[in-house]
Amino acid sequence: MKIATKHGAGRSIPTWAAGLLCLCLQTTASAAIPIQQWTQASGAQVYLVESPAIAMVDVQIDFDAGARRDPAAQAGLASVTTGMLDKGVLARDGAPAMDENALSEAWADLGAQFGAGATSDRMGFSLRSLTEPDLLDKAVALAAREMAEPSFPDAIWQRERQRIQAALKESYTRPASIIGRAYAQAVYGTHPYGYETTEATLARISVADMRALHAASVVACRARISMVGAVTRAQADAIAARLLSRLPQQPCASLPPLPEVAEVAPLAQAEEKRIAFDSAQAHVLIGQPGYKRADPDYFPLTVGNYILGGGGFVSRLTREVREKRGLTYGVSSYFSPGLHAGAFTVGLQTRPDQAPQAVALVRDVLKEFVANGPTEAELKAAKDNLIGGFALRMDSNRKLLDNVSNIAWNRLPLDYLDTWTQQVDKVTAADIKAAFARKLQPGKMVTVILGAAP
């Protein structure tokens, strides 16, 4: 479960500014992207791409406090904690307390945006502001308060918990939500990646739990800050320092180490689970634990999956399942690598009476691909598409920031974006075959089918 909040969404960037931004990033995407990196006195790590063409800056601040650290009995704690950050800030150091309405109005007045959210691996905060000095100074000051001094009002949490519980109840009627939960539990077992946020786990979460998580996790020395915009290194360093200035400043060496999180266990055998559901379409998910983002097979697996099922209409699964047999309108495969082995998944929808045939065919395609790899023609087409489309991965300020924060979070080389196309281009068919053989076991995958005829 992921909950994200954002202030200031009602004020858009002027059309001329958006045009300049697009032009700037189209130029940047085809040239070298110099990423500067340094460590502040607090221990925080800062990553910067200077982009002076438009007077704007985007910032992402990440902490190792995602859902993988939730207690099993309080699944959803990280997400609801970030969801409560915009519900008020404390009065401190002469600054008055602010409730959710005052915060929303303050961000709207600045024309800036601030948001918070939690994924499986990280708790993150984002800031977008124009770089006009007075506006930026106020936006940074307000972001620092909201990140460091949330009030966690209990009455608001009781309201929010009821809202989330109502949304959960509604999700139990949607086939995609039902099968997604069953599939995650089957793939991940007892690993936190498979934890399910429920009405019961929400009932066990108090504002005291949120305060404890926030105090233990959101500390300056553990921050990784990514920044893209019209700021110099000196300005970026000052912005980063001020954003963290209200957080605890002790060295990480003096803090208790973060607990280790176990790795995802491989599946011991194949499993098929059928879920009764009255639906015009049967929903199917097939997969297993995949690989960690730091795995050296990342590029062969990325290129190989594009060929297998990630390339849309040019993928092998689409060709075999949709075009040749007409068993589905769409079928795809994808990896979800994280700090632990995220799932490899094949997903499709089909007529309930055709589900057994579609599942059998997908298994055959997977088995053949893992055994023999791609053809040279498939490899060339995949490389051409991936390399040709690389600029689209950075055609907005947000996308470029996402790439920089990905580098920061996963400790990738600073020239990762500059060498991405070369890494793709040097992948061979043999590399893909070997990587898929190391990672996938078609005979031990989980299959979850919702709504198929018995």
d(CA 286, CA 332): 11
How far are the Cα atoms of 44, 140, 227, 408 from residue 235, in angstroms, in the given order?
16, 12, 11, 19
84 in Cβ contact with 252 (< 8 Å): no
Q: pLDDT tens across 354-370, in order?
A: 999 999 999 999 999 99
Report the b/e string of 157-169 with b at 16+ CB within 10 A: beebbeebbeebe
Distance CA 72, CA 120 (A): 13
Rounded distance between C-alpha atoms, residue 438 and residue 99, angstroms: 53
Of 67, 62, 80, nearest in space to 5 by CA:
80
Considering only CA atoms, which of 145, 134, 122 is closest in space to residue 244?
Answer: 145
- State pLDDT tens for residues 81-92: 999 999 999 999
The more confidently predicted of residues 242 and 280 is 242
Report the C-alpha gap between 393 and 88 in whole angstroms.
35
Q: What is the mean pLDDT of residues 397-418?
A: 95
Global confidence as pTM: 0.90
The confidence band for 393, taking pLDDT boundaries of 50, 70 and 90, is confident
Does residue 10 register a pLDDT over 70? no
The pLDDT tens digits for 208-236 are 999 999 999 999 999 999 999 999 999 99
Amino acid (1-letter code) at residue 213: L
Sheet with 446-450: list strands edge to edge.
Answer: 271-275, 446-450, 282-291, 342-350, 331-335
Is 50 exceeded by the pLDDT of residue 15? Answer: no
Indicate the domain borders of the chain.
Answer: 4-14+29-254, 271-450
Q: How far does Cα 443 stand from its chain's mean position?
A: 29
Asked if the domains at 4-14+29-254 and 271-450 fall in one CATH topology, the answer is: yes
116: closest CA among 92, 139, 150?
150
> How far apart are alpha carbons 389 and 120 in whole angstroms?
28
| Measured distance CA(73)–CA(75) in Å, rounded | 6
Reported as a single tens digit per residue, the pLDDT across 96-147 is: 999 999 999 999 999 999 999 999 999 999 999 999 999 999 999 999 999 9
Question: Taking the domain 271-450, which CATH number applies?
Answer: 3.30.830.10
In whole angstroms, what is the distance from residue 266 CA to residue 257 CA? 27
pLDDT band at residue 6 under the 50/70/90 scheme:
low
Helices (H), 45-153: 77-83, 100-110, 133-148
As a whole number of angstroms, the distance between CA 82 and CA 79 comes to 5
Tell me the per-residue pLDDT of 31-57, one tens digit each, with 9 for 90 and over: 579 999 999 999 999 999 999 989 999
Q: Is residue 27's pLDDT more than 60?
A: no
The residue type of 427 is V
CATH superfamily name and code, 4-14+29-254: Metalloenzyme, LuxS/M16 peptidase-like (3.30.830.10)
